[in-house]
Structure 1
C-alpha cells in the first residue's frame, strides 16, 4: 500500500486481554480525535460503535459490507475490517 504509507497517518492500536478496558480507551481517544476510524470484526459491533460515537456527539459514518450510511459532517467512520479504505 505505497499511497497509504505516504499519507503519514497516525495509527493507534489497542490490544490486551478481555475486559481490560481497551475498547473503552479506544472510544475515548476516538471521540477526542480530529478524525478516525473504528474497525470492528462484525457488522453488529460496527453498528454499536457508530451508535456509541453518535451518543457522544461525534458525527460518525457507517461502512460495512451491507451498508454505507454517510453522516453529515462526519469526522469518524465505524467500519467492518474488510471495508477499510486504505486510499483516503
Structure 2
C-alpha cells in the first residue's frame, strides 16, 4: 500500500522538521521513539521503520566483557598518562 501526502518542512528550533501526523503516523503505526532508517537521495528522502537494532555495534558491552580479567585485558600495556593530560 502506498499513499502520497503533500506536507511541508517547517522551522523547528534551529533546524527543520517534518511533523509525522495523521495518516503518516497511523498507517505505518509510528509511535514516539520508533527507530527509523532515513534513506537520502538527490530527489529527497524516505523514512522507514528500522529493520534492525539501532545499536551500530555487532556486540553488546556484556558480550565484549565475557572472560575479561587483568591478564586478558593486557592491563600491563596501558600507557602512563602525563600530568599535562589530566583536566579538572
TM-score (normalizing by structure 2): 0.26
Structure 1 or 2, whichever has the larger Rg, is 2
Higher helix share: 1
